[in-house]
Amino acid sequence: MKTLLKVCWQLSLGLSLALGSSAFAQDNWPQKPIRLLLGFPAGGGSDIVARLIAKSLSDRLGQNVVVDNKPGAGGNIATEMLVRAPGDGYTLLLVPSGHASGAAMKKSLPFDPVKDLAWVSTITTYPLAFTVAPNSPIKSYAD
């Protein structure tokens, strides 16, 4: 009986080491450049933010983060590219916070903004302001 228990123990130990070693064999992420999709053209405010984030991530991760501008359809072209990309963490999408709700109002899309996208982080916040010409009769928000 002791011999059988010893063999079972050795077998289970060997299996656990063999199966557990696969976790050690995994590469550290990231092992290749990361693509940061942006649904707006180069040179605008979103592009500036994306490039600042890409630089910061590149410095922290030790791997290039490349901004890939794919303007059009209110960001839906870039979003569709993200949804079709492998879910390996090497393709990210930077969009305004209202993107999913705006996309959800379209009759047909090649993706489901609620099911196919996962929010990762808020990057920036900024106030909005209404302005008018100084000679305008509008002097307040109520006007």
Residue 39 belongs to domain with CATH number: 3.40.190.150
- Over the range 112-136, which residues count as b (16 or more CB within 10 Å of their CB) and which as e? ebeeebeeeeeeeeeeeeeeeeeee
φ, ψ (nearest 5 deg) of residue 35: -100, 125
Structure tokens given for 68: 């890939």
Q: Which helix (H) or strand (E) holds 80?
A: helix 76-84
Q: Does residue 15 lie within any of the structural domains?
A: no
Instruction: Note whether residue 11 is domain-resident.
Output: no
User: Is 76 within the bounds of a domain?
Assistant: yes
Asked if residue 120 is part of any domain, the answer here is yes
Range of the domain at 85: 29-143
pLDDT at 13: 38
Domain count, the chain: 1
From first to last of the 143 residues of the chain, give the pLDDT tens digit: 444 444 334 434 333 434 444 455 556 899 999 999 999 999 998 899 999 999 999 999 999 999 999 998 888 899 999 999 999 999 999 987 666 555 556 677 888 877 888 888 888 887 778 899 999 999 988 98
User: Is 78 among the domain residues?
Assistant: yes
How much is the pLDDT for 57? Answer: 95
Residue 112 lies in a domain: yes
- pLDDT value at position 100? 57
Residue 77 falls within a domain, yes or no? yes
**How many angstroms from the chain centroid is the CA of residue 86?**
12
User: Is the distance from CB of 50 to CB of 67 less than 8 angstroms?
Assistant: yes
Q: Could you tell me if residue 16 is inside a domain?
A: no
- For tokens 């180069």, the residue is 42
